[in-house]
Amino acid sequence: MFQATELNLRNEKIQKRWRLLFLLMALLLILPVLIILILLVYRGGPVISWSFLFEFPTNGMTEGGIFPALLGTIFLVVVALIFSVPLGVAAAVYLSEYAPDNWLTRSINLAIINLAGVPSIVHALFGVGAFVLFFKFGTSILAASLTLGIMTLPVVIVATRESLQAVPHAFREACWALGATRWQTIRRIVLPNAVSGILTGIILEVSRTAGETAPIMFTGAAFFLPFLPESVYDQTMALSLHLFVISTQVPGVPEDLPFGVALVLIGIVLSMNALSIAFRVYLRNKKKW
């Protein structure tokens, strides 16, 4: 009675084949990541040293270090964060906690989706038009960072909104019933419980910002500078652009040098991602409800 029929057996065989196919596809995902990492470490690893990290490029960027580019990337990211985090978090708080469901809210949401979908080179042109020319910031860290900030705003807004909405609605209702205003509820209950998620979003934004090339190449990142920037109105070098430049624009660069730069860049991005994963684990362990 419980004997498997011909059909049962055939179905099971088919099921196993599909499973295998899906597994292979999933495993395929690891492949590019592994190849990239292995290649970078293998070729770029020997290039990296203290002097590589902390010295200026010399001899037409074919020798020396990457210090101004490394510092420039950090500079760009920090200024972009200063601009985009307050703006993004505030907008997300409005959208999540205050906004009624009307045409204005819907158009803001639509704008965010569209902003996320704009190609980075278009952001670059917008940055040139708006910040470099119209606001007369010139090609500068300020202009480049603002461009990066606008480009990554959707990341901050979406991450913040999601983590705000992950706070159960019952908490808000209980707090309102105590006579708290919306703002008191946000400040005392909602934000403290969403803050780890917001930080995760910000870190993801950092890794995205650090890697972008197109938005900064017309707005503030320089081909080569023999000095460090002194203010946000100066130009700066940046790792991503530096990598592009020494890989394609400069003759006579030793073959392994770009791999070293790429390794540093990806190291920054991956360590930021690791930080965000660590935050998420920390958050899960501290889950308060």
Exactly one of 141, 148, 155, 175 binds other proteins (CB under 8 A); which one? Answer: 175
Sole binder of other proteins in the list 180, 195, 269, 275 (CB under 8 A): 180
Is 250 a binder of other proteins (CB under 8 A)?
no
The residue range among 76-84, 156-164, 188-196, 211-219 that interacts with other proteins, by the rule CB under 8 A, is 188-196
Phi, psi of 219 (to 5 degrees): -110, -15
> Tokens at residue 31, please?
């492949």
Question: Whole-angstrom Cα distance, residue 197 to residue 166?
Answer: 9
Could you write out the DSSP letters of every residue in 244-289?
HHHHHT-TT--TTHHHHHHHHHHHHHHHHHHHHHHHHHHHHHT---
Pick one of 21, 174, 270, 281: the residue that binds other proteins (CB under 8 A): 174
Q: Under rule CB under 8 A, which residues in 75-114 are in contact with other proteins?
A: 100-101
Which of 1, 24, 29, 178 binds other proteins (CB under 8 A)? It is: 178
Task: Tell me: does residue 285 bind other proteins (CB under 8 A).
Answer: no
Residue 189 interacts with other proteins (CB under 8 A): yes or no? yes
DSSP line for 121-145: HHHHHHHIIIIIIIS---SSHHHHH
Sole binder of other proteins in the list 25, 136, 177, 230 (CB under 8 A): 177
Which of 252, 240, 257 has its CA nearest to residue 46? 257
In a 13 Å sphere around the CA of 286, the CA atoms on its Cβ side amount to 12
- Give the residue, chosen from 181, 271, 277, 282, that forms a contact with other proteins under the rule CB under 8 A: 181
Task: Rule CB under 8 A: say whether 163 interacts with other proteins.
Answer: no
